[in-house]
C-alpha cells in the first residue's frame, strides 16, 4: 500500500462528523480538482507492507478508520485492506471521488461510502461513474462540494434528475472560504433534503496537512 500519512483526528465532514478516527491517507489521485486541499498526495509518499498496516490499524484505539487519499480505490490492495480490518472489528469510512467503481466496497459490511459528485468549480464534473449511484446503500452518502451559485445549481439539478436513483443521504459541503450562511439559507429556501456540513477539522486546526 502506498501511503501519504496516517494520523489520529476527528472526522470533519459527512454523516460521521465529530467522531474520533484513525486517518489512513493514500498516495496518488486520478483527478485534479481545482480546490483540492490534499495536493501533497499527488506524488511521493512511502510504501507500507499491507500486513504491517493492517496490524497498526487494528492496534489503534479508534473504532472508526477513515480510508482516504488521494484516491484510495486506486490502491491495488484496497479491498483486501478494508476486508481485513473490518473482520478484526473496525468500521471503515471510505472517502472516494466517485470516478472509480465502489461496488466491491459496498458489499463489505461495516463500511460507509462517502462519495463525491464533483461540481463545476472542481473542473472534474464529468468524472462520476454514474453506475455508482445504484450501488450506494442507505447508510452511505453522496457529497457535493459547493463553492458558488453555479455549483449549487449543478447539485440541485443533479438531485432532481436522479431522484429515483439516490437512496442514500445527501451532503452539501461548502468549499473552504465559501459563505456558510448563504449555503444554509439556500438549502432552507429550496426545501432540499440535504445536510449542510462543514470540515470540522479545519475549524479546529485550520488548513494544516495531516489533521
* Cell numbers found for residue 23: 486517518
**Of 9, 6, 19, nearest to 54 (Cα)?**
6
What's the burial of 119, exposed, middle or buried (CB within 10 Å: 0-12/13-18/19+)?
buried
Q: Within 10 Å of residue 87's Cβ, how many Cβ atoms?
A: 13
pTM, two decimal places: 0.91
Domain boundaries, the chain: 2-205
- Per-residue pLDDT at 204: 67
Residue with cell string 487494528: 58
Residue 21 phi, psi dihedral angles, 5° rounding: -145, 155
- Per-residue pLDDT at 171: 96
Residue with cell string 445536510: 195
Q: How confident is the model at residue 207 (pLDDT cuts 50, 70, 90)?
A: low
Q: Give the Cα separation of 68 and 79 in Å (integer).
A: 13
Q: Does domain 2-205 have CATH number 3.20.20.70?
A: yes
Cβ atoms of 173 and 143 within 8 Å: the answer is yes
- Per-residue pLDDT at 198: 81
Q: How confident is the model at residue 201 (pLDDT cuts 50, 70, 90)?
A: low
Q: Is the pLDDT of residue 74 over 80?
A: yes
Q: Which residues pair with 148 in a beta bridge?
A: none
Per-residue pLDDT tens over the stretch 109-125: 999 999 999 999 999 99
Per-residue pLDDT tens over the stretch 172-197: 999 988 999 999 999 999 999 999 98
User: Average pLDDT of the chain?
Assistant: 92
User: For the residues of 143-154, what is the DSSP string, one character each?
Assistant: EEEE-SHHHHHH
C-alpha separations of 51 from 1, 76, 81, 160 in Å: 10, 14, 9, 44
Amino acid at each position: 500500500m502506498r501511503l501519504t500519512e496516517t494520523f489520529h483526528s476527528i472526522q470533519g465532514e459527512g454523516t460521521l462528523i465529530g467522531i474520533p478516527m484513525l486517518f489512513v491517507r493514500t498516495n496518488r489521485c486520478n483527478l485534479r480538482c481545482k480546490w483540492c486541499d490534499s495536493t501533497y498526495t499527488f506524488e511521493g509518499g512511502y510504501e507500507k507492507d499491507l500486513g504491517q498496516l493492517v496490524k497498526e490499524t487494528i492496534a489503534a484505539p479508534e473504532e472508526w478508520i477513515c480510508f482516504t487519499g488521494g484516491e484510495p480505490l486506486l490502491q491495488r490492495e484496497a479491498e483486501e485492506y478494508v476486508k481485513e480490518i473490518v473482520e478484526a472489528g473496525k468500521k471503515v469510512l471510505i472517502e472516494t471521488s466517485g470516478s472509480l467503481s465502489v461496488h466491491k466496497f459496498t458489499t463489505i459490511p461495516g463500511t460507509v461510502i462517502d462519495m463525491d459528485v464533483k461540481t463545476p468549480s472542481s473542473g472534474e464534473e464529468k468524472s462520476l461513474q454514474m453506475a455508482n449511484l445504484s450501488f450506494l446503500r442507505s447508510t452511505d452518502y453522496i457529497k457535493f462540494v459547493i463553492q458558488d451559485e453555479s455549483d449549487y445549481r449543478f447539485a440541485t439539478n443533479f438531485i432532481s434528475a436522479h431522484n429515483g436513483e439516490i437512496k442514500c443521504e445527501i451532503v452539501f459541503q461548502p468549499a473552504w472560504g465559501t459563505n456558510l450562511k448563504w449555503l444554509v439559507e439556500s438549502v432552507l429556501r429550496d426545501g432540499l433534503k440535504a445536510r449542510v456540513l462543514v470540515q470540522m477539522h479545519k475549524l479546529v486546526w485550520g488548513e494544516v496537512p495531516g489533521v
